[in-house]
A and B are shown apart, each in its own frame.
Chain A
Amino acid sequence: MGWYVRSLGKRKIIEFMVLLLFVFFFLGPLLNLTLLAFSGKWQFPAMLPQVWSLEWWSFVLTQEEVLSSISLSFGIATIVTIASIVICIPAAYAFARIRFPLSRWFLFSFLLTNAFPKMGLYVSIAVLFYQVGLMNTLLGVVLIHIVNTLMFMTWIPAAAFKSIHLAQEESARDVGAGPFRVFWHVTLPMALPGILVASIFTFLSSLDEAQGTFLVGIPDFKTMPLVMYSIVEDYPSTAGAVFSIIMTLPTIVLLLAARRFVNADVMSSGFQMK
Chain B
Amino acid sequence: MNLDKAGALRMKTSTAKSGLSRQTKDSITGLLMVFPSFLLLVFIVILPISLAVRESLLDPNGALSLANYKYLFTDKAMKNNIIFTLNLTVVSTVITLILGYILAIYLRFSKGRISEWIRKLYFIPMFIPAVIATYGIINMYGNHGWLARIVLALGGDSFPRFIYDYNGLLLANLWFNIPFTAMLLSSALAGIPNSLIESARDVGAGKLNLFTKFIVPMTYKTVLVAATFSFMGIIGSFTAPFLIGPNAPQVLGIAMQQSFSIYHDVGIASAMAVFMFLLCSAMGYFYIRSMVKEEPAGR
Contacts and interface: CB of A to CB of B under 8 A. Distances in A.
Contact of A32 (B3, B146, B239, B243): B146
Interface in B28-82: 28-31, 33-34, 36-38, 40-41, 43-49, 51-52, 55
Interface in B260-288: 260, 266, 269-270, 272-274, 276-277, 280-281, 283-284, 287-288
Contact of B6 (A45, A173, A208, A248): A173
Interface stretch (A62-70, A98-106, A185-193): A98-106
Interface stretch (B90-98, B193-201, B203-211, B251-259): B251-259
Contacts of A228: 129, 131-132, 135
A138 interface: no
Nearest to B102: A18
Nearest to B118: A22
8 contacts: A26-B121, A32-B145, A44-B148, A91-B37, A94-B34, A120-B274, A244-B132, A267-B187
A210 B253 CA distance: 14
Given A113-B45, A274-B294, A120 B288 contact: no
A144 interface: yes
B41 A120 contact: no
A271 to B, nearest CB: 5
Interface in A197-238: 200, 204, 207-208, 210-211, 225, 228-229, 232, 237
A94 B34 CA distance: 7
Contacts of A204: 127, 129
A91 B145 CA distance: 48
Interface residues of B, number: 108
Interface in B114-142: 114-115, 117-118, 121-125, 127-133, 135-137, 139-140
Interface string A44-75: 11110000000000000000000000000000
Given A47-B150, A91-B33, A119-B273, 20 more contacts: A18-B118, A36-B139, A44-B144, A45-B149, A45-B152, A90-B36, A108-B288, A112-B41, A113-B45, A115-B281, A117-B277, A120-B269, A123-B256, A124-B51, A124-B52, A128-B51, A208-B129, A225-B129, A240-B135, A255-B124
Interface string A29-43: 110110110000000
B16 interface: no
A29 B253 CA distance: 24
Nearest to A83: B40
Interface of A: 15-16, 18-19, 22-23, 25-30, 32-33, 35-36, 44-47, 87-88, 90-91, 93-95, 98-101, 103-104, 106, 108-121, 123-125, 127-128, 143-144, 146-147, 150, 154, 173-176, 200, 204, 207-208, 210-211, 225, 228-229, 232, 237, 240-241, 244, 247-248, 251, 254-255, 262, 264-265, 267-269, 271-274
B139 A94 contact: no
B238 interface: yes
Contact of B260 (A95, A123, A125, A229): A123
A20 B176 CA distance: 19
